[in-house]
A and B are shown apart, each in its own frame.
Chain A
Amino acid sequence: MSASRTGKALTKYKIVFLGEQGVGKTSLITRFMYDTFDDHYQATIGIDFLSKTMYLDDKTVRLQLWDTAGQERFRSLIPSYIRDSHVAIVVYDVTNKKSFEYIDKWVDDVKNERGEENVLLCIVGNKNDLVEERQVSTEEGERKAQVLKAKIFVETSTKVGYNVKNLFRKIAKSLPEFQNDSGKLAGLDGEAGKTAPGVIDITTNTEEDTTGGCQC
């Protein structure tokens, strides 16, 4: 059996995006996938799906991004998608206190479906470029993440592209596939990395993402 005929091993990871309506779940995915931002808000209908492939040596990993609708009428669908997800990203809006308070409910949903051990829980405070309108401080977010035992907490701005890549780098580093590898991931970013064609460094580099502007 020819090795090249069988392709490379492929592992799929299901990432589900949760959070209240309008916190920026879809924007986060769009920024990650296409490195773009759309000013015009358009509510997600039902559940949306996108996928992204990453390569590391002979390992291939496909991230399946499930974008859920924040609207109340679609809430009943979401547990069915959390049921077999590997990563749950709970997003809140730093300018909307209510969306921050609802994090507990979303995390409860995740824990009900997946337990505490079987899922990588991430808490993301989005829209941190709106400094004037901020209602939730970074410290509050960090405290909440600690209380809820979230493995990753970051503040992002999908509008200016701040920290989005870092978020996914951190997630990638936490995946079992890459935990023992200090190598470089390809295909994680839209720009496909700068170190080599199609390759990016997964080591956390907070400076890289801050090119979009200073975030307080």
Chain B
Amino acid sequence: MSFLEFQLGDAFTDSGFLPEPASALPLDSVPLRESHKGFQVPVPDLLESREVETNTLQERMKLYVDSSMRGLELRSQPASNRDHDRSAVPGATSHLADREQSLKQMVEVSGNYKPESSDSVISRKLSRILNEYDGRTYQKDQDLRRSFLALEAHRKVLAFNESVLVQPSVMGSLARQSLKSNLEHLLLQNNLTFLENIRPVVNKIQRLSEPIERTLTIGNRVCEKRPTPIPDEVWCRIKDKQEQLQTLKMQKTVLSAVRDSLTLSQIEDHAIRNAEIDTEFLLVVNRIMIIKERATYLLTLPSAEAGKALLKHVNSQLEIANKRIYNYLVDFLYDLQSAYRTFGERSFTSNDKTFVVFRKCLVYLSSDLPYFSEFLKRVVKMRSQAALDNFLSQFDVESSSESKPIILSAHDPIRYLGDVLAYVHSLIVNEADFVNSMFDFQTFDEEEDSPQSIINKNQKFLSELNLKALNDIMVPLENSIRIRLEQIIRFEDDILTNFDIFDLLKLYEMIFTKYGIFEDSTLIRNLNALENVSSNKIGSTLTDTLSTIDTRQEIGADLLPPSWLAEYLTTLCGVFARYEKSSYPEDAKQIVSVEFLNETTGRLVNDKLEEFLHKNFPDMKRNPSEKENFLVAQINCFDNVISKLKPFKSTVFDNDGNILIKVENQMQSSIKALTEFESRLLFQKTGLELYFNLFNMIFPVESVQDELDYDMYLSTLENPIMNLTKIRESVEKPVSDLMPAALDEFQKNKVFHIMSPRIGEQITNTCLRQLLRFYQVFRQVLLHLYPDSQEEVLTVLKFTGDEAAMLFGLSD
């Protein structure tokens, strides 16, 4: 850095020689005005002599001196001639010129300034210094080079202008002096800083010097006394002290570790009370939780005082933290609510930082149930209020909503109920979406930041939190929903509509539970209650219809079932058909239960029909004709009931088919009774009744197998009615008259009123077959008993068995 104070040149090569200061540069030769324009230092003869080999410093010095001397000689020449040379000579000549010439003269010569100025010399020299090396000047050049580099590196700090600095003028000189001054100042400052830095070290050394000196003195003394052995006693004491020291150190380490593990640092304590709620804050809370867990272990110590005190302290800190978390969550909620009111629905992405903190806060707060419940209540209140408003707005006819309002249509109650339930469905899925995004902790993956104790302890609670919140949100809506459904269901009397309502409610019960509504929630209970209302209405409407039937209605001459029976059965079958189509057959069994069947079908057959028939045929026990009509009417009614209900035998009546079987049995009894009645009548008309009874008393006619059995009737000969003459009188004519017309008689008169042709044919066949069977047996027995009067027998019973069968229309 000293290059500015001294002349630049080869003189540097000699360490013993101090070059002349730079201020001796020929300032007079440099015009001030041009100092800022590419100033060129004149290089006079040196340039000419470049070709001369100057390998050594001495040679170069010599060259320089010659050149200078030439310059001095030139000074005696006129100013105009020597200007050029003067300006070309640096060093002493310039210095002398400075002293001799006034500023005025300098100005005068400035006009004659030539480019061969001292700047050029300097730059060339500098260039040579920087670029050319030889063994001797190497060290110097290196220093200079380093100095330049240092100067360049600190250009900003030193704030110098190199263009001014290199000027040979006063300005340049001043600038160089200033730079020098600055450099010295900086150097001093650096030294001062260094001294300041080492002052503490010096102080320490000074402080320590005295004890060290003492130690040295003691050491010397000890060394001097070395021949005296240290007693064992002292060694033991030293050892004891060392052990004591070690123990104390260990105790200190342990206590420090305990302190660190059981207390918060000052920063953490500050964070709990004042820091913003964020992940860092939650980490501190997590630490408190861990401390609390550890504190519980202390309670197992013989003295639990420490544990109790620590727990008390930790609990107070937790209380503060939880309160702050609660306030944060409430603020979050209010912000959300405010945005919701202003801008509508909001959503968060799962990686939203604030949202992540919110969810973590919830996990932490879940360990403080009162605060947590309070927060949950607020969430529920906010959401349920919005949901209720939305629900009620659907019924607002003047609503600006795009969709049609839900209006009760008189002819379509199912649509109204469907609209209400469908909207509740969409509300539930919306709320489920919301609570799942906020409170679904089943996939909570921030466990590493959360205390395991909370996660483990509250796992069940947290995992069901979304469902709980959803159910709680729906609670305030339940009453409004129930009212709107109930006002329709309570006043709906149509049985099939009630069945549709039942199915609809069952479907939505299933849907709502699928989306997380608890089965024991009031909403589902309300739906169940309404299902019961509609199902009960189906049964009650039918039983009411049955009760109001007027059984005094007179039966027609055709003995057909009454019109009310047909109507009632149509309604009943409609219910059964709807039951078969029900989407929930298991649930529909609640409606079509055994009790329902007893009430609607059993009562119909056992009470109403019986009542109706007895009222229409009061004298049937006394009057055979009335009894016959009674039986026919009864068979017709039973047949009607069975034919209508039989299609449902495997569905409706599969669980308890007794009712239908009972009706079928009752009908079979009636058929049997009518058959017996008609058969007896037929025997009476043919005059064979007495003989039929007589024969059956001895041996059942139906059991006769072959001719050997005829002998069993030998005893009848003792009976006077078995006289052939008597037989002719009582049988011949009726048989001859009736038998050819018996089939017609039955078909046109007796069973004509029986509605079912199958039953009519069954009765006809049974009666005629019975008559035919007896006729054949009676004829053969008579031929067997009166072998001598066979011709007479054949005249009385002139039709053979085959002929009789043909007349009755029987194949066999």
**Interchain CB contact (< 8 A) of B339 among A1, A11, A60:** A1
Bound-state Cα–Cα, A49 to B583, Å: 19
B406 neighbours in A (Cβ, 8 Å): 83
Q: Mark A23-55, 1 if CB is under 8 A from B, else 0.
A: 000000000000000000000011101010101
B418 touches A (CB below 8 Å): yes
B264 touches A (CB below 8 Å): no
On whether the beta carbons of B348 and A7 are closer than 8 Å, the reply is yes
Bound-state Cα–Cα, A80 to B508, Å: 13
B400 touches A (CB below 8 Å): no
A170 touches B (CB below 8 Å): no
Bound-state Cα–Cα, A160 to B510, Å: 33
A14 neighbours in B (Cβ, 8 Å): 426
Bound-state Cα–Cα, A74 to B508, Å: 12
Known: A5-B335, A47-B511, A118-B402. A83 touches B422 (CB 8 A): yes
On whether the beta carbons of A1 and B422 are closer than 8 Å, the reply is no
B303 neighbours in A (Cβ, 8 Å): none
**Interchain CB contact (< 8 A) of B346 among A7, A77, A81, A118:** A7
**Interchain CB contact (< 8 A) of A77 among B343, B349, B429, B507:** B507
Q: Mark B495-512, 1 if CB is under 8 A from A, else 0.
A: 000001000100110110
B785 touches A (CB below 8 Å): no
- Min distance, Cβ A136 to any Cβ of chain B, angstroms: 31
On whether the beta carbons of A84 and B346 are closer than 8 Å, the reply is no
On whether the beta carbons of B429 and A8 are closer than 8 Å, the reply is no
A8 neighbours in B (Cβ, 8 Å): 346-349
B510 neighbours in A (Cβ, 8 Å): 45-46
Q: Mark A1-30, 1 if CB is under 8 A from B, else 0.
A: 110111111111010000000000000000
Most chain A beta-carbon contacts within 10 A, residue among B335, B422, B500:
B422
On whether the beta carbons of A62 and B429 are closer than 8 Å, the reply is no
- Min distance, Cβ B335 to any Cβ of chain A, angstroms: 4
Bound-state Cα–Cα, A45 to B584, Å: 11
A190 touches B (CB below 8 Å): no
On whether the beta carbons of B343 and A79 are closer than 8 Å, the reply is no
- Min distance, Cβ A174 to any Cβ of chain B, angstroms: 16
B344 touches A (CB below 8 Å): yes
Known: A76-B418, A84-B426. A7 touches B355 (CB 8 A): yes
Q: Mark B657-693, 1 if CB is under 8 A from A, else 0.
A: 0000000000000000000000000000000000000
A46 neighbours in B (Cβ, 8 Å): 507-508, 510-511
Closest to A55 in B: B349
Q: Mark B408-434, 1 if CB is under 8 A from A, else 0.
A: 000000110011011101100110010
A104 touches B (CB below 8 Å): no
- Min distance, Cβ B605 to any Cβ of chain A, angstroms: 32
Q: Mark B188-213, 1 if CB is under 8 A from A, else 0.
A: 00000000000000000000000000
A96 touches B (CB below 8 Å): no
Bound-state Cα–Cα, A47 to B429, Å: 12
Known: A46-B510, A77-B422. A12 touches B345 (CB 8 A): yes
Known: A1-B335, A6-B339, A60-B347. A83 touches B353 (CB 8 A): no
Bound-state Cα–Cα, A46 to B504, Å: 10
- Min distance, Cβ A169 to any Cβ of chain B, angstroms: 21
- Min distance, Cβ A22 to any Cβ of chain B, angstroms: 18
Bound-state Cα–Cα, A80 to B355, Å: 35
A45 neighbours in B (Cβ, 8 Å): 507, 510, 583
Bound-state Cα–Cα, A18 to B402, Å: 20
On whether the beta carbons of A47 and B425 are closer than 8 Å, the reply is yes
On whether the beta carbons of B347 and A80 are closer than 8 Å, the reply is no
On whether the beta carbons of B422 and A10 are closer than 8 Å, the reply is no
Q: Mark A54-69, 1 if CB is under 8 A from B, else 0.
A: 0100001010100000
Q: Is the interface of B mostly helix, strand, loop or mixed?
A: helix
A105 touches B (CB below 8 Å): no
Query: Chain A, interface size: which category?
Result: 20 to 34
Closest to B352 in A: A4
Closest to A53 in B: B347
Bound-state Cα–Cα, A49 to B422, Å: 12
On whether the beta carbons of A80 and B511 are closer than 8 Å, the reply is no
B625 touches A (CB below 8 Å): no
Closest to A8 in B: B347
A83 neighbours in B (Cβ, 8 Å): 403-404, 406, 419, 422
Known: A62-B347, A77-B507. A47 touches B336 (CB 8 A): no
B296 neighbours in A (Cβ, 8 Å): none
Bound-state Cα–Cα, A212 to B515, Å: 34
B338 touches A (CB below 8 Å): yes
Bound-state Cα–Cα, A60 to B419, Å: 28
- Min distance, Cβ B470 to any Cβ of chain A, angstroms: 14
A109 touches B (CB below 8 Å): no
B338 neighbours in A (Cβ, 8 Å): 1, 6
Known: A10-B346, A11-B344, A46-B511. A4 touches B419 (CB 8 A): no
On whether the beta carbons of A73 and B581 are closer than 8 Å, the reply is yes
Q: Mark B346-365, 1 if CB is under 8 A from A, else 0.
A: 11110011110000000000
A62 neighbours in B (Cβ, 8 Å): 347, 433
- Min distance, Cβ A80 to any Cβ of chain B, angstroms: 4
Bound-state Cα–Cα, A9 to B348, Å: 9
B461 touches A (CB below 8 Å): no
Per the 8 Å Cβ criterion, residues 459-508 of B in contact with A are 500, 504, 507-508
On whether the beta carbons of B421 and A4 are closer than 8 Å, the reply is no
A116 touches B (CB below 8 Å): no
Closest to B336 in A: A6
- Min distance, Cβ A9 to any Cβ of chain B, angstroms: 5
A113 touches B (CB below 8 Å): yes
Closest to A85 in B: B403
Bound-state Cα–Cα, A80 to B583, Å: 19
A11 neighbours in B (Cβ, 8 Å): 344-345
- Min distance, Cβ A157 to any Cβ of chain B, angstroms: 29
- Min distance, Cβ A118 to any Cβ of chain B, angstroms: 5
Closest to A80 in B: B422
On whether the beta carbons of A4 and B353 are closer than 8 Å, the reply is yes
B133 neighbours in A (Cβ, 8 Å): none
A55 neighbours in B (Cβ, 8 Å): 349
Bound-state Cα–Cα, A44 to B422, Å: 16
A51 neighbours in B (Cβ, 8 Å): 429, 433
Closest to A14 in B: B426
Closest to B416 in A: A80
Per the 8 Å Cβ criterion, residues 272-314 of B in contact with A are none
B422 neighbours in A (Cβ, 8 Å): 47, 77, 80-81, 83
On whether the beta carbons of B404 and A10 are closer than 8 Å, the reply is no
- Min distance, Cβ B174 to any Cβ of chain A, angstroms: 62
Q: Mark B523-558, 1 if CB is under 8 A from A, else 0.
A: 000000000000000000000000000000000000
Bound-state Cα–Cα, A47 to B515, Å: 12
B138 touches A (CB below 8 Å): no
Closest to B355 in A: A7
Bound-state Cα–Cα, A10 to B347, Å: 6
Bound-state Cα–Cα, A6 to B337, Å: 8
Closest to A6 in B: B339
On whether the beta carbons of B354 and A9 are closer than 8 Å, the reply is no
Per the 8 Å Cβ criterion, residues 65-114 of A in contact with B are 73-74, 76-77, 79-81, 83-84, 113-114
Bound-state Cα–Cα, A47 to B345, Å: 24
Bound-state Cα–Cα, A6 to B342, Å: 11
If A5-B335, A49-B429, A84-B403 are given as contacts, then 15 extra A-B residue pairs at C-beta distance below 8 Å, sorted by A number, are A1-B338, A4-B353, A5-B354, A7-B336, A7-B346, A9-B347, A14-B426, A46-B508, A49-B425, A51-B429, A77-B507, A83-B403, A83-B404, A83-B406, A118-B402
Q: List, sorted by A's number, 20 A–B pairs whose CB atoms are closer than 8 Å.
A: A1-B338, A4-B354, A5-B335, A5-B336, A6-B336, A6-B338, A7-B336, A7-B348, A8-B348, A9-B347, A10-B346, A11-B344, A46-B511, A47-B511, A62-B347, A76-B415, A80-B418, A84-B402, A84-B426, A113-B404
Interface residues of B (CB under 8 A from A): 331-332, 335-336, 338-339, 343-349, 352-355, 401-404, 406, 414-415, 418-419, 421-423, 425-426, 429-430, 433, 500, 504, 507-508, 510-511, 515, 581, 583
The 6 tightest CB contacts between A and B, nearest first, are: A6-B339, A84-B403, A80-B422, A10-B347, A7-B346, A10-B345
